[in-house]
Amino acid sequence: MNSARDTAKNAPTALRLFGLFAGISAVTIGGGYAIVPVIGNALEKRGWMDEKEFYDLFARAQAFPGPLALTTAVLCSIKLAGFRGAVAAFLGVIVPPFFALILVGSLLGRFGSLPAVRRFLDGAGATVPGLVAAMVWRNAKKRKWTAFRAVSTIALAVALALLPGMSMPILLGGILLLYVSEAAWKS
């Protein structure tokens, strides 16, 4: 891998990283878990990073807040091209969606009150509870459940639902408590 990385012809420069991530970000729809494997394949194909190295960085990205596609792209690019690479990846990930949303926002401003458009938006919005339920279902099936995890998941969810204005202290405090308990459990 290092030999490919060192040849100037194919080196991961800031400009190339920007182009790569802008391209991926512009065409990948469906959130973090859809885009992350695409990033991994692209980096591997260019010989910039092997699969193991990529998934280590992806695992680290999950410990940070923020969209997974963004944090993964930035962590990979720091490794490949330092601070300039990180800035390039950051812009690459956020610029294409930004303009797509501005376009959609202005179209809605103009056509949003037409009855057919309203019905389209109502129909699209009606899928949201179903999609969230499917996400919960998939994640609940994957989770390694213990009694402690089940009880704390439900307690935290109820606290968040009852006190929406306090979500930040509840979550940060909750995750800290969970971390301490999980760590104590192991040792």
Partner 1 sequence: MEILNVVWTFFKIGIISFGGGWSIVGIIKSEVVPRWLDEAGFRSLVAIAQSTPGPIALNAATLIGWDQGGFLGAIAATLSVVAFPMMAIAAAGWLGPKIPLKKTALDEALRTGSMAMMLMTLWALRPDSADPVLLGLGVLAFVFAAFTKLNSLWAILGAGAINAAFGPFLRGLFGIAP
Candidate residues 11, 42, 91, 117; the one interacting with partner 1 per rule CB under 8 A = 117
Question: What residues contact residue 123 under an 8 Å CB cut-off, 6+ apart?
Answer: none
Give the burial string for 45-64 (b: 16+ CB within 10 Å, else e).
Answer: ebebbeeebbeebbeebeee
d(CA 49, CA 76): 9
Minimum CB distance to partner 1, residue 84 (Å): 14
DSSP string, 11-62: ---HHHHHHHHHHHHHH--S-HHHHHHHHHHHHHHTTS--HHHHHHHHHHHT
Among 1, 4, 10, 98, binds partner 1 (CB under 8 A): 98
For partner 1, the binding residue among 17, 20, 25, 92 (CB under 8 A) is 25
Q: Does 126 bind partner 1 (CB under 8 A)?
A: yes
Q: Find the binder of partner 1 among 4, 19, 110, 138 (CB under 8 A).
A: 138
In this chain, which stretch among 1-9, 10-18, 39-47, 154-162 interacts with partner 1, using CB under 8 A? Answer: 154-162
173 is a site residue for partner 1 (CB under 8 A): no
By beta-carbon proximity to partner 1, the closer residue of 15 and 120 is 120
Smallest gap, in angstroms, from Cβ of residue 18 to partner 1?
16
Closest approach, Cβ 7 to partner 1, in A, equals 27
Residue 35: which of 20, 16, 56 has the closest Cα?
A: 20
Assigned token pair, 47: 């010989």
Q: Which is nearer to partner 1, 1 or 158 (CB)?
A: 158
